[in-house]
Amino acid sequence: MNSGISKDGILNIVPPNSIDAEKALLSAILIDNSQANSVLGIINPEDFYDSVNAKIFRIISKLSEKNEPIDIITILHSLEKEQDSPDNSSDFNYGNYLTSLFELPAGLFNIEQYSKIVKEKSTLRNLINASNKIRQKCYEQNEDIENIIDFTEKTIFDATQKDAPKNYAEVYPLIIDYFKKLTSKKSDNDVITGIHSGLNYLDEYTNGFQPSDLIIIAGRPSMGKTALSLCIAKNIAVKKIPVAFFSLEMSKEQLATRLLAMTAKIDSSFLRRGKIHNPDIENIHKALEILEDIPIYIDDSAGITVTELRAKTRRLKREKNIELVIIDYLQLMRASHNIESREQAIAEISRSLKGLAKELNIPVIALSQLNRMVESRQDRKPQLADLRESGAIEQDADLIMFVYREEVYKKDTENKGVAELIIGKQRNGPTGIVKLSYIDKYTSFENLAYEDREAYI
DSSP letter (8 states) at residue 438: E
Q: Which helix (H) or strand (E) holds 345?
A: helix 342-360
DSSP assignment of 104-164: S---GGGHHHHHHHHHHHHHHHHHHHHHHHHHHHHHH--S-HHHHHHHHHHHHHHHT-SS-
3 state DSSP class of 298: strand
Question: d(Cα 304, Cα 19) in Å, to the nearest integer?
Answer: 46
CB-CB contact of 111 with 28 (8 Å): yes
* CB-CB neighbours of 317 under 10 Å: 21
In sequence order, what are the beta bridge partners of 371?
none
DSSP β-bridge partners for residue 367: 217
CA angle (442 as vertex; 437, 446 as ends), nearest 5: 25
Measured between alpha carbons, how far is 264 from 286 in angstroms, rounded to an integer? 7
Which entry of 46, 120, 146, 249 is annotated as an active-site residue?
Answer: 249
Question: For residue 17, which amino acid is it?
Answer: N
414 is annotated as an active-site residue: no
Cis peptide before 404 (omega within 30 of 0): no
Catalytic residue list: 249
